[in-house]
Amino acid sequence: MTNPNTPNNPTNKINYTPIIIGILAVLVIGAIAIGAMSGGDMKNNADKMRSSSMMEKTVNVGGAAMYPSKNIIDNVVNASNLSTLVTAVKAADLVDTLKSAGPFTVFGPNNDAFAALPNGTVDTLLRPEGKVNLQEILKYHVVPGKFLISDLKDGQMLSTVQGEMLKVTKTNGQVMINGAEIETGDVIQSNGVAHVIKKVLLPPSEVTVGGSAMVRTQNVVTNASKATNLSTLVTAVKAAGLVETLQGPGPFTVFAPDNNAFAKLPAGTVETLVKPESKDTLTKILTYHVVSGKYLASSLKDGQVLTTVQGQTLTVSRMNDKIMLKSSTGNTVTITQSDVIQSNGVAHVIDSVLMPQ
């Protein structure tokens, strides 16, 4: 008798076909499910990436969002209030530099800051012959490293790419860089951080007046002769025979009226003053703008009385960031550009002509 449990028993053979089909079915269904899940995950990841980009924390500058994932150039080109800065960076061939890895801290003057410079300054700097000066000025606004507002301490000195130093002042929550107020801070960039400021920073060794660099090693007449906005003053100094005096060792503090200041005088006044017969009057007026000694803006105190080379006095008045001078006849002028260092003293550009009694 044949053992029914032996493999050779045909009545006891196992039919594997349904099992195999079942396994294949499970595998196929599993693969479809995994594929569906994988496709869903890919879509979800793409959606997350798009959502992350849209949710990137930005700061609004000049009506445009500044993206932390973009470099400073790619961001600021969209800010309407930084268009002059962008033009200047392009003219100075600094685009590639400010697109590089950095990190940089950039103090970016807004359009109003550039507009506040003496007439013709920006136009002169943007010309090919002004490129070197423009580069020096722009580099003075860039500090290696990433300094957020919270990193800046009162009295801190920052070394710029240009080589000169910037001083931080923090008072009652207000942050100033060399006297320039930070309008919008902590604008994060992929290669650093930018802070929008309300004033163009001019390096002390290369202060620009009327589009020309004022060289510290040159005297007041030599420097003033290069400034397009001081041409009337230079003409007057020559007519009064004061060139040699103002080229002397000094030191002098010169309050220099710009061309617009002379233009405010009654019609025909300048033409009359530069005539030979008016030399004595012109000399008295010009020497009334000169004080013996070197008085920087920080040395001028509210209520201080200065005795001029002409003999009469000027009274200093300070209001907020403005420094004004009151003449003996009662007219008041404002210093529009201060601390223009000369080899024989310092000059301060003023907006009106001081008239002695």
pLDDT by residue (tens digit) across 295-353? Answer: 988 889 999 999 999 999 999 999 988 999 999 999 999 999 998 988 888 999 999 99
The secondary structure of 144-201 as a DSSP string is: ES---GGG--TT-EEE-TTS-EEEEEEETTEEEETTEEEEEEEEEETTEEEEEESS--
- Coil/strand/helix, residue 21: helix
The answer as to whether 357 is a domain residue is no
Q: How far apart are CA 86 and CA 260, in angstroms?
A: 28
The answer as to whether 91 is a domain residue is yes
Angle 174-175-181 (CA atoms, 0-180°, nearest 5)?
A: 95
Q: How far apart are CA 172 and CA 160, in angstroms?
A: 25
Q: Percent of the chain at pLDDT above 90?
A: 60
In this prediction, residues 137-158 reach a mean pLDDT of 92
Beta pairing class for 104-109 and 290-292? unpaired
The answer as to whether 92 is a domain residue is yes
Q: How far apart are CA 11 and CA 65, in angstroms?
A: 81
Name which of 178, 62, 196, 199 is nearest 117 in CA terms: 199
Residues 64 and 178 in one domain: yes
The answer as to whether 53 is a domain residue is no
| Per-residue pLDDT, 77 | 92
Give backbone dihedrals phi and psi of 313, rounded to 5 degrees, phi first.
-110, 160
Full domain range(s) for residue 330: 215-350
The answer as to whether 321 is a domain residue is yes
| Per-residue pLDDT, 109 | 95
Residues 124 and 222 in one domain: no
Asked whether 56 and 69 are in contact (CB, 8 A), the reply is yes
Greater model confidence, 348 or 128 = 348
Q: Has residue 254 got a pLDDT over 80?
A: yes
Q: Calculate the CA dihedral of residues 24, 27, 32, 35 and round it to 10 degrees.
A: -140
Residues 162 and 275 in one domain: no
Q: Has residue 120 got a pLDDT over 60?
A: yes
Name which of 63, 108, 102, 103 is nearest 89 in CA terms: 108
Residues 141 and 256 in one domain: no
Residues 240 and 327 in one domain: yes
Residues 231 and 153 in one domain: no
Residues 153 and 222 in one domain: no
In this prediction, residue 16 has a pLDDT band, given cuts at 50, 70 and 90, of: low
In this prediction, residues 220-227 reach a mean pLDDT of 93
Mark which of 158, 181, 203 sits at the end of a domain: 203
Asked whether 287 and 281 are in contact (CB, 8 A), the reply is no
The answer as to whether 12 is a domain residue is no
- Coil/strand/helix, residue 116: coil
User: What amino acid is encoded at 247 in this protein?
Assistant: Q
Chain mean pLDDT for the chain = 85
Mark which of 152, 174, 203 sits at the end of a domain: 203
| Per-residue pLDDT, 18 | 55
Residues 238 and 346 in one domain: yes
Which tens digit of pLDDT belongs to each residue from 161-186?
Answer: 887 789 999 988 889 999 999 999 99
Mark which of 203, 236, 266 sits at the end of a domain: 203
Which tens digit of pLDDT belongs to each residue from 73-86?
Answer: 999 999 999 999 99
Asked whether 74 and 187 are in contact (CB, 8 A), the reply is no
Residues 74 and 95 in one domain: yes
Residues 286 and 182 in one domain: no
Q: Percent of the chain at pLDDT above 70?
A: 84
Record the tokens describing residue 200, joined without a space.
């163009």
The answer as to whether 187 is a domain residue is yes
Q: Has residue 202 got a pLDDT over 60?
A: yes
- Coil/strand/helix, residue 349: strand
The answer as to whether 228 is a domain residue is yes
| Per-residue pLDDT, 51 | 44
Q: Has residue 20 got a pLDDT over 70?
A: no
In this prediction, residues 142-159 reach a mean pLDDT of 92
- CATH number of the CATH domain containing 151: 2.30.180.10
Greater model confidence, 226 or 20 = 226
Give backbone dihedrals phi and psi of 165, rounded to 5 degrees, phi first.
-105, 150
Residues 198 and 70 in one domain: yes
Residues 185 and 258 in one domain: no
Whether the bond into 103 is cis, omega within 30 of 0? yes
Number of structural domains in the chain: 2
Q: Has residue 46 got a pLDDT over 60?
A: no
